[in-house]
């Protein structure tokens, strides 16, 4: 459609009623010369582009030749050093092939995710030195307080180390487990410790008193004292509660026997 419009416009521009052929020869020649000049300018531009492309091609070929020469020289140096370049290239290609495997890429993706998780987990590591310094300061303050109270810290550390080494040498695994079970029990309860302390003091005082032999009547008179009555009441209460605990301990073991004895 545009070509038809251009032809009609051109026909109108060069039309002439005074010419026997119906067109103005001068206008027609001028327009032909203008078109030829435009074509010539375009050809010049194309020649310039082609020349520039040729120069770029020549530069590219020269650069590629230089790169090839440098590569050949490097390969030759490697060969003089005893390096098998072909083997290295095959190994590199094999490595790239394995690296591009889908399973390898998935594994690398998981590794990257773990690295990101580690980075997030270690984001607060910068605060560790300050926390460590605070802990050291608190420890130093506690050590200084104990020293002001007359505690020999060096002696305590030496004795602690000796005790640990002594126990570690003489205790086996079962004994350590038994010791742990003992520590988890009520043996170290403050009231139990207080009772053991009083019992120990009573043993020491009784040993130092060197009591004389006494007959039944004298023993009965001594049992009627208030101290003996309190001790007897304590022993009776202890026996009663210990018996109750023993009964609780034996009930689960005896439950199947009771069911077998009463099948009906």
Please write the tens of the pLDDT for every residue from 190-247. Answer: 888 888 888 888 888 888 888 777 777 777 777 778 888 888 888 888 888 888 888 8
The span from the CA of 189 to the CA of 183, in Å, is 10
Cβ-contact 22, 16 below 8 angstroms: yes
Instruction: Work out the angle at residue 46's Cα, subtended by the Cα atoms of residues 42 and 47, and round it to the nearest 5 degrees.
Output: 115
Beta bridge partners of 15: 23
Confidence band for 251, pLDDT divided at 50, 70 and 90: low
Q: What is the pLDDT of residue 21?
A: 62
- Cα-only R_g, the chain: 54
Backbone angles phi, psi at 225, to 5 degrees: -70, 160
66-77 pLDDT per residue, tens: 887 887 887 788
Nearest to 31 by CA among 13, 8, 4: 13
Beta bridge partners of 23: 15
Cβ-contact 183, 193 below 8 angstroms: no
Cβ within 8 Å of residue 31, ≥6 positions away = 10, 13, 14
The span from the CA of 238 to the CA of 244, in Å, is 10
Backbone angles phi, psi at 19, to 5 degrees: -90, 140
Cβ-contact 98, 104 below 8 angstroms: yes
Cβ-contact 246, 254 below 8 angstroms: no
35-57 pLDDT per residue, tens: 888 888 888 888 888 888 777 77
Cβ-contact 216, 225 below 8 angstroms: no
Instruction: Record the pTM.
Output: 0.34
């Amino acid at each position: 459609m545009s070509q038809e419009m251009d032809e009609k416009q051109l026909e109108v521009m060069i039309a002439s009623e005074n010419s026997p052929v119906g067109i103005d020869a001068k206008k027609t020649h001028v327009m032909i010369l203008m078109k030829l000049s435009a074509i010539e300018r375009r050809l010049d531009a194309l020649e310039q582009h082609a020349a520039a492309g040729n120069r770029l091609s020549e530069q590219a070929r020269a650069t590629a030749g230089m790169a090839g020469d440098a590569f050949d020289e490097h390969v030759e140096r490697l060969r003089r050093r005893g390096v098998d370049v072909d083997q290295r290239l095959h190994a590199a290609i094999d490595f790239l092939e394995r690296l591009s495997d889908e399973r390898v890429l998935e594994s690398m993706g998981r590794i990257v995710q773990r690295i990101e998780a580690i980075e997030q987990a270690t984001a607060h590591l910068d605060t560790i030195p300050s926390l460590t310094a605070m802990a050291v300061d608190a420890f130093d303050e506690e050590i200084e307080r104990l020293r002001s109270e007359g505690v020999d810290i060096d002696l305590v550390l030496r004795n602690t180390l000796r005790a640990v080494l002594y126990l570690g040498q003489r205790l086996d695994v079962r004994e350590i487990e038994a010791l742990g079970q003992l520590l988890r029990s009520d043996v170290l309860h403050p009231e139990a410790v207080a009772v053991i302390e009083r019992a120990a003091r009573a043993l020491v005082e009784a040993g130092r008193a060197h009591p004389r032999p006494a007959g039944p009547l004298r023993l009965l008179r001594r049992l009627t004292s208030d101290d003996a009555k309190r001790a007897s009441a304590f022993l009776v209460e202890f026996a009663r509660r210990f018996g109750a605990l023993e009964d609780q301990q034996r009930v689960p073991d005896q439950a199947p026997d009771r069911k077998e004895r009463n099948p009906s």
